[in-house]
């Protein structure tokens, strides 16, 4: 009987661990864990409050005041824990939103880069109209850089071969 209960406990713990390992990278799982922690702390805080605010305890003359102060400090500690988990919840959410924005920005930059590459490939394609003119302008610019900042648009590149004296 006891061995069956222990086997069942071990099996359920393994299943819970596998589920946690599978979903721990998701932000919803992280937020759910924090929210569950807040709920659990809040419920324990309310139960303690309900226990120590019964009218019988307040009217009883033999009640130890130190127990009330201890309960008060426990409730205050729970409250501080809830505040801490509240801050954690919004930090996780904020980090997730920043990651989403960064992914969107990267995606838009990647799409822009792909569009530019497509435009360049269209221009450099031999069959596209204006490709020869574009290639010629690139050759002229490269030649101008090589020849000490020669500007082909200003100085001209068309030279009449018949009039050149060697």
Q: Is residue 112 part of a domain?
A: yes
Q: Is residue 162 part of a domain?
A: no
Q: Is residue 70 part of a domain?
A: yes
Q: Helix, strand, or coil here: 98?
A: helix
Q: Is residue 100 part of a domain?
A: yes
pLDDT at 135: 76
- In whole angstroms, what is the distance from residue 37 CA to residue 35 CA? 5
pLDDT at 35: 92
Which CA distances in Å does 153 have to 40, 49, 139, 140? 77, 87, 13, 9
Number of domains in the chain: 1
pLDDT at 88: 93
Q: Is the Cα torsion angle 117, 118, 121, 123 positive or negative in sign?
A: negative
Q: Is residue 59 part of a domain?
A: yes
pLDDT at 27 over 60: yes
Q: Is residue 165 part of a domain?
A: no
- In whole angstroms, what is the distance from residue 27 CA to residue 105 CA? 20
Q: Is residue 77 part of a domain?
A: yes
Mean pLDDT of 94-100: 89
What domain range includes position 93? 2-117
Q: Is residue 157 part of a domain?
A: no
Q: Taking every pair of C-alpha atoms in the chain, what is the biggest distance, in angstroms? A: 126
């Amino acid at each position: 009987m006891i061995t069956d209960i222990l086997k069942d406990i071990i099996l359920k713990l393994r299943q819970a661990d596998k589920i946690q390992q599978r979903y721990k990278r998701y932000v919803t799982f992280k937020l759910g864990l924090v929210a569950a922690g807040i709920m659990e702390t809040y419920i324990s805080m309310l139960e303690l409050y309900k226990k120590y605010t019964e009218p019988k305890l307040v009217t009883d003359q033999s009640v130890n005041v130190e127990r009330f102060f201890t309960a008060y400090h426990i409730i205050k500690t729970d409250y501080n824990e809830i505040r801490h988990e509240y801050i954690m919840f919004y930090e996780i959410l904020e980090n997730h939103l920043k990651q989403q924005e960064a992914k969107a920005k990267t995606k838009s930059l990647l799409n822009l880069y792909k569009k530019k590459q497509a435009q360049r490939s269209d221009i450099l394609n031999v069959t596209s109209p204006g490709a020869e003119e574009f290639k010629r302008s690139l050759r002229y610019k490269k030649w101008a850089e090589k020849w000490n900042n020669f500007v082909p648009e200003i100085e001209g590149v068309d030279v009449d071969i018949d009039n050149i004296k060697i």
